[in-house]
């Protein structure tokens, strides 16, 4: 049976799904290929994409007598559309492609719709206007002719009036007086759109509303016709965003930049400034500030220039054909340095699996000694980090002193000589190797925090955590942490003074593949060897959870592994168990994080009774808000704790709210207000703030209430064991206060190891190893939940 391409798009309120059987040579990296459409549907699915996508895929495969193993490539719509909708499709595809080890490509959703319109037999100029919410539309202006579909311009977003003005200018310039019109944007903006066309005396033919959405066939057609270059690596794929997150938009609106760019705002292109910079994952132009040249990834349209440059070097080797085949192979990175529009230097990196072979570094003879070669080498080595590779090998002509010096200056060593290596003049090749960082640095950068030798028994679990602002993956075996990888986004949120949900979701989708692959690679445990996969599915930021969950579902489905949904807060509790496997109920636990503050009693395994919670702010939130009021960066907890170390906790008396409320409820917003009021009063009186004293006094107020309530809860329940968990558990003063109070009352107390206090996936894996024997794996229809008490299983 032939191999297939699986196609889907979830950027609108539908699931577009297709299966194309490949009829020619094997599916390679990219390019037009003949497909026989075996399945194509557009399934209405408002707000249920995550719930239905994999079930629909599973049924489509079964219905066409194909198996997951027949999937040779995946293509998904990259938007524009609903940000979360697009991310669900892309996250699922990333999981599937990673598990099946097949390439993953994207097509523009509007291009897929255009292909469907052409398929329906429509010809001529056509406007697609998709609803972009917020009174805006995503337009596409296309001309369907014999030779194919021509599209004017790329993905943009804007108010209907501004968009129409622009489209009409394009049409008028081409003397077009008749267009076809379709799209979900017509539901809300029909008047603005058709009115503008009528004013311009352009007659309109309304197309069937069903053509507002893509179908599976349209996605596959759009893929076949696409000429853009894509690596096919799941880790490289990003959705199309035509807007920044609101927080960034506001920030930009306030900046001087907006004043100069203001005129364009209504009609913004999806250029590089729109997409947030992905560390190492973007292929966008990267203008070097200090130099007069810019560096970007090369693509097949650069081949002519690449050959021109190569031919100008002393020993040209690379031909147009050789370069063309480079762009057909997966796992190659070619970057170029441009002076103006002229290609001044080229560098190629290959075999991007663990170790990188530097294929070529060439600089045009008249462009040398400007640092171009250095920049290309450094930039290439930096970009290879997205393949989690930091070791490099190369061969260089023994006579090429300039190149040898360049490599030596970057720490490369001569490790051997290949005699008569070059066929053109029989010259020797020097073999060199180097690395962009030490193994230790790589481990830190990529987050490896622990590595333990293999144990033979016990479940081997991969866990994924994306509930807030850390993308994390871990492998545990027999309750021992093998790898624990955390890609933190904290820096991206810090300038906004807190976690921006839209930014969190965007960063998760960028980092998820690399994070999971690193965890598996460093653990030296392939996906196929796992017993189970676990994922945080509640509580948390729903848009963030859904990325991890959709990815995990795709991964588990593709790899045929059971997937367990884990409560994030139960994960925080199990951070203790990783340290001390003998811990078991009954116990009382205090869970304190950025989003939660609760006291729970656990009479038996997996059963939790919430004794009390915060009525307003969570404990971590209070730390963050007080830090903000003091002008300190996010996250506030660690900084306040550090300041508090040097301050006097009795210096200022802040309120201990609910201390004597005789229940287990907490309230921190009054304390926060009291601190802010104190700060304002001090400032007004012209006194300099004593930050350490304020921090210490505030922290002590938080600690006093928590310790008092925790002790009385333990006593009332009659527990002999107490556990602390959550991000705030990293607070040394709180840990010490709880340990001494509990010990004084004869209670055995556990606090999580410091490195497992913050969000991580090892704790999720630990919780899963306890849950997997007692609960059912998640169904393909599982969804994420933002609020969920402990003890409530997502799938029941
Ligand atoms: O569990 P976590 O990493 O994320 C959530 O699930 O919310 O907790 C993060 C919270 C933040 O509010 C942070 O300020 C706080 O934990 N935190 C601390 C300390 N370290 C982190 N709070 C007090 N003292 C610390 N040393
Ligand atoms: Zn947490």
* 380 touches ligand 1 (CB under 6 Å): no
The per-residue b/e assignment along 152-176, b for 16 or more CB within 10 angstroms, e otherwise, is: beebbbbbbebbbebbbeebeeeeb
* 636 touches ligand 1 (CB under 6 Å): yes
Q: What is the pLDDT of residue 299?
A: 84
* 620 touches ligand 1 (CB under 6 Å): yes
* 595 touches ligand 1 (CB under 6 Å): yes
* 759 touches ligand 1 (CB under 6 Å): yes
Closest Cα to atom 13, ligand 1: which residue?
Answer: 637
Evaluate the CA torsion angle 58, 62, 63, 68 in order and state its sign. Answer: positive
Nearest of 19, 16, 18 to residue 4 by alpha carbon = 19
Q: How many other CB atoms are there within 10 angstroms of residue 569's CB atom?
A: 28
Question: 121 phi and psi, to 5 degrees?
Answer: 90, 5
User: What residues contact residue 70 under an 8 Å CB cut-off, 6+ apart?
Assistant: 1, 2, 3, 4, 61
Q: Are 562 and 463 in contact (CB under 8 A)?
A: no
Closest atom of ligand 1 to CA, residue 732: 26
pTM, to two decimals: 0.78
* 497 touches ligand 1 (CB under 6 Å): no
Task: Name the 3-class secondary structure at 468.
Answer: coil
Both tokens assigned to 228: 């853009």
Burial of residue 272, with CB atoms counted within 10 A of its CB: 0-12 exposed, 13-18 middle, 19 or more buried: middle
CB-side neighbour CA atoms (13 Å) of 723? 32
User: What residues contact residue 773 under an 8 Å CB cut-off, 6+ apart?
Assistant: none
Nearest of 393, 329, 401 to residue 359 by alpha carbon = 393
Closest Cα to atom 14, ligand 1: which residue?
Answer: 637
Q: What is the pLDDT of residue 460?
A: 93
Give the Å distance between the CA of 275 and the centre of ligand 1: 29
Q: What is the pLDDT of residue 259?
A: 42
Q: Are strands 721-725 and 748-750 parallel, antiparallel or unpaired?
A: parallel
CA–CA separation, 514 vs 536, rounded Å?
Answer: 18
Closest atom of ligand 1 to CA, residue 623: 14
Evaluate the CA torsion angle 518, 524, 527, 533 in order and state its sign. Answer: negative
Closest Cα to atom 7, ligand 1: which residue?
Answer: 594
Q: What is the pLDDT of residue 250?
A: 82
Give the Å distance between the CA of 681 and the centre of ligand 2: 34
Below-70 pLDDT ranges, the chain: 1, 24-33, 255-291, 329-331, 351-354, 385-388, 440-458, 792-796
Evaluate the CA torsion angle 490, 494, 500, 503 in order and state its sign. Answer: negative
Q: Is the N-terminal amide bond of 96 cis, ω within 30° of 0?
A: no
Q: Helices 542-559 and 49-63, interaxial angle, to 10°? A: 20
CA–CA separation, 552 vs 563, rounded Å?
Answer: 8
Instruction: Give residue 14's Cα distance to chain centre.
Output: 23
How many distinct helices (H) and strands (E) make up the chain?
23, 30
Q: What is the pLDDT of residue 385?
A: 64
Q: Are 589 and 577 in contact (CB under 8 A)?
A: no
Give the Å distance between the CA of 540 and the centre of ligand 2: 8
Closest Cα to atom 2, ligand 1: which residue?
Answer: 727
From the CA of 571, which ligand is nearest? 2
Residue 392, strand partner residues? 356, 434
Closest Cα to atom 23, ligand 1: which residue?
Answer: 637
Burial of residue 526, with CB atoms counted within 10 A of its CB: 0-12 exposed, 13-18 middle, 19 or more buried: exposed
Mean pLDDT of the chain: 88
CA–CA separation, 622 vs 180, rounded Å?
Answer: 56
Question: 599 phi and psi, to 5 degrees?
Answer: -110, 125
CA–CA separation, 785 vs 777, rounded Å?
Answer: 16
Which run of H or of E encompasses 485? strand 480-488
Q: What is the pLDDT of residue 443?
A: 58
Give the Å distance between the CA of 771 and the centre of ligand 1: 25
Chain length of the chain = 796
Give the Å distance between the CA of 758 and the centre of ligand 1: 6
* 727 touches ligand 1 (CB under 6 Å): yes
* 725 touches ligand 1 (CB under 6 Å): no
Give the Å distance between the CA of 341 and the centre of ligand 2: 48
* 537 touches ligand 1 (CB under 6 Å): no
By most ligand atoms within 8 Å of CB, the mutation choice from 571, 637, 643, 732 for ligand 1 is 637
* 752 touches ligand 1 (CB under 6 Å): no
Give the Å distance between the CA of 759 and the centre of ligand 1: 9
């Amino acid at each position: 049976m032939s191999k297939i391409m699986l196609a889907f798009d979830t950027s609108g309120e539908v699931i577009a799904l297709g299966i194309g059987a490949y009829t020619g040579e094997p599916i390679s990296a990219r390019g037009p290929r003949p497909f026989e459409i075996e399945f194509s549907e557009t399934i209405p699915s408002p707000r249920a994409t995550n719930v239905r996508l994999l079930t629909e895929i599973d049924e489509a495969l079964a219905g066409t007598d194909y198996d997951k193993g027949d999937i040779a490539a995946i293509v998904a719509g990259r938007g524009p559309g609903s940000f979360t909708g697009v991310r669900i499709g892309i996250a699922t595809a990333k999981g599937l492609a990673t598990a099946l080890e097949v390439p993953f490509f994207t097509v523009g959703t509007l291009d897929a719709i255009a292909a469907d319109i052409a398929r329906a037999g429509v010809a001529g100029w056509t406007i697609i206007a998709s609803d972009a919410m917020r009174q805006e539309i995503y337009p596409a202006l296309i001309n369907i002719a014999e030779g194919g579909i021509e599209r004017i311009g790329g993905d943009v977003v804007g108010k209907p009036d501004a968009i129409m003005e622009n489209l009409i200018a394009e049409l008028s310039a081409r003397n077009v007086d008749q267009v076809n019109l379709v799209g979900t944007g017509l539901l809300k903006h029909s008047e603005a759109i058709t009115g503008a066309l009528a004013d311009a005396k352009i007659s309109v033919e309304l197309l069937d509303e069903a053509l507002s959405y893509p179908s599976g066939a349209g996605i596959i057609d759009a893929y076949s016709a696409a000429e853009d270059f894509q690596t096919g690596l799941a880790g490289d794929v990003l959705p199309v965003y035509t807007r920044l997150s609101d927080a960034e938009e506001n920030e930009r609106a306030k900046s001087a930049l907006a004043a100069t760019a203001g005129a364009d705002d209504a009609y913004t292109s999806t250029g590089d400034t729109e997409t947030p910079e992905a560390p190492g994952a973007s292929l966008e132009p990267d203008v070097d500030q200090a130099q007069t040249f810019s560096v970007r990834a090369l693509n097949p349209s650069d081949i002519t220039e690449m050959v021109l440059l190569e031919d100008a070097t002393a020993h040209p080797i690379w031909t147009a054909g050789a370069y063309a085949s480079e762009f057909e192979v997966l796992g190659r990175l070619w970057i170029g340095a441009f002076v103006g529009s002229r290609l001044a230097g080229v560098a190629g990196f290959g075999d991007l699996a663990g170790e990188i072979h530097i294929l070529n570094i060439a600089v045009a003879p008249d462009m040398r000694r400007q640092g171009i070669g250095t920049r290309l080498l450094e930039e290439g080595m930096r970009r290879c980090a997205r393949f989690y590779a930091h070791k490099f090998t190369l061969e260089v002509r023994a006579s090429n002193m300039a190149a040898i010096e360049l490599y030596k200056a970057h720490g490369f060593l001569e490790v051997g000589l290949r005699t008569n290596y070059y066929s053109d003049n029989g010259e020797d090749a020097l073999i060199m190797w180097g690395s962009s960082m030490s193994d230790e640095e790589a481990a830190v950068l990529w987050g490896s925090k622990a590595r333990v030798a293999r144990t033979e028994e016990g479940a081997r679990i991969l866990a994924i955590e994306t509930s807030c602002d850390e993308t994390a993956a871990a492998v545990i075996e027999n309750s021992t942490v093998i790898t624990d990888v955390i890609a933190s986004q904290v820096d991206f949120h810090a300038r906004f003074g807190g976690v921006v949900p839209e930014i969190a979701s965007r960063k998760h989708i960028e980092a998820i593949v690399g994070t999971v692959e690193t965890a598996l690679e460093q653990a030296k445990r392939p996906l196929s060897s796992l017993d189970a996969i676990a994922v945080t599915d509640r509580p948390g930021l729903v848009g963030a959870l859904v990325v991890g969950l959709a990815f995990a579902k795709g991964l588990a489905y593709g790899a045929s592994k059971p997937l367990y949904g884990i409560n994030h807060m139960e994960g925080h509790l199990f951070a203790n168990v990783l340290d001390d496997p003998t811990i078991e109920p009954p116990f009382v636990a205090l869970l304190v994080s950025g989003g939660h503050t609760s006291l729970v009693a656990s009479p038996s395994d997996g059963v939790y009774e919430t004794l009390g919670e915060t009525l307003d702010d969570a404990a971590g939130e209070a730390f963050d808000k007080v830090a903000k009021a003091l002008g300190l960066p996010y996250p506030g907890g660690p900084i306040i704790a550090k300041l508090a170390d040097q301050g006097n906790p009795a210096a200022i008396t802040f309120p201990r709210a609910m201390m004597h409320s005789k229940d287990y409820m907490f309230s921190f917003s009054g304390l926060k207000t009291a601190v802010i009021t104190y700060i304002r009063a001090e400032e007004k009186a012209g006194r300099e703030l004593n930050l350490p004293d304020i921090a210490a006094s505030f922290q002590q107020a938080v600690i006093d209430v928590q310790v008092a309530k925790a002790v009385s809860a333990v006593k009332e329940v009659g527990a002999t064991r107490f556990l602390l968990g959550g991000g705030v558990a990293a607070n040394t003063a709180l840990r010490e206060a709880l340990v001494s109070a509990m010990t004084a009352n004869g209670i055995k107390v556990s606090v999580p190891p410091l490195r497992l206090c913050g969000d991580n996936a090892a704790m999720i894996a630990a919780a899963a190893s306890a849950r997997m024997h007692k609960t059912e794996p998640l169904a393909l229809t599982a969804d994420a939940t933002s609020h969920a008490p402990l003890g409530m299983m997502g799938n029941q």
